[in-house]
Amino acid sequence: MKPEVDVVILSFNRTESTIQAIESALAQEGVRVKVWVIEQGTKSDLTALRQACHPEQIQLVELGSNIGVAAGRNLGARLGKAPCIAFLDNDADFVESDLLAQASHILGSRVAVVGLRLVEAATGKLDRLNWVYPDRFQCEEEPKLVGRFAGGACVLSRRAFESTEGFDEALFFMDEEVELSYQLVQRGYQILYHPGLSVRHYLSGENRIEWADGRYAHHTRNMLYITWKHYRSWTQVLILGLGYLLKGALNGLSGEAYRGWRSGLSLCRRTKRGEPLSKDARAYLKSHHDAYRGGVRGILFQEVLSKLPQARPASQNASHKRSNTFNRQASDGKNV
């Protein structure tokens, strides 16, 4: 019997590319696919998207507003019942025709996530903007156990996902998969990065948030919060915060770094003290993530003192108008 997979795609103002992502999921061989499209307030006409969604295989859920990446993915995942859940960005498609079949066979009692390789559709090169693995894995050809995965290019075990609290909806946008990774590792699960299974990312400029428009502030805030939530160490939070402030300054983003730092510390103070990562979970992360970062020197020079990857091709930057996304969402201190 063919494995069953629920594919969750979030839709927001990219109707044409969303339809292409749906078609990519339906074209997968060797699996029975159900696609869940979570429509989060697209401003343009949705007629084409509605016509592309057939209830027997594609369910369109129209929310009317943007509830965030974390909440949207949680909703899509919980609507389905298949043993495997795939999350695909709506400006991406699967490269291998049997990718979902291969990934579903890899998932098991220990492996909770198969992380996929993300490549730029225009160049075929690694998508550096969404790269979450250790840098030394960029040329890796064999599957490796890792400490995190890319949320828009992954296949998860439903059993493992449902053993967690799901994506933390306090994060709204960015790094929600890092936090879920910690939850999974805490429960004894493993995460596998498989460079032989790829997703093509078209890097759509539409609605993409630039580093200077809130992306870096979100990232700083969220990583401080995740560190506090799972390590419960103010020392680690403050050291990490200094690193993000320095990196922001070196990339001309001092204001964004400060806003993220301030919002992150505020969120940490409001978060109730809970159970930190277990000894086994920390050992797993140390072996399968920290060990590949090159120690203090590697972290300093490769991560802190380095340029941020560009959020979109330079040709599109010239016409981009600065937004106040971070400031609007941070106004209530909840949805950033």
pTM: 0.91
List, for residues 249-288, the tens digit of each pLDDT value.
999 999 999 999 999 999 999 998 778 999 999 999 999 9
Protein fold of 4-201? Spore Coat Polysaccharide Biosynthesis Protein SpsA; Chain A (3.90.550)
Higher pLDDT, 321 or 67: 67
Question: Domain segments of the chain: what residues?
Answer: 4-201, 211-312
Q: Please, which pLDDT band fits residue 207 given cuts at 50, 70 and 90? A: low
Q: Are 224 and 241 in contact (CB under 8 A)?
A: yes
Q: Which helix (H) or strand (E) covers residue 81, if one does?
A: none
Average pLDDT score, the chain: 90
Q: Please, which pLDDT band fits residue 329 given cuts at 50, 70 and 90? A: low
List, for residues 43-101, the tens digit of each pLDDT value.
888 999 999 998 889 999 999 999 999 999 999 999 999 999 999 999 999 999 999 99
Contacts of 217 (CB under 8 A, 6+ apart): 256, 257, 259, 260, 263, 326, 330, 336
Asked whether residue 321 carries a pLDDT value surpassing 70, the answer given is no
The pairs formed by 42-46 with CB atoms below 8 angstroms and a separation of 24 or more are: 42/11, 42/12, 42/13, 42/14, 42/15, 43/13, 44/13, 44/15, 45/15, 46/15
By the 10 Å C-beta count (0-12 exposed, 13-18 middle, 19+ buried), 220 is classed as buried
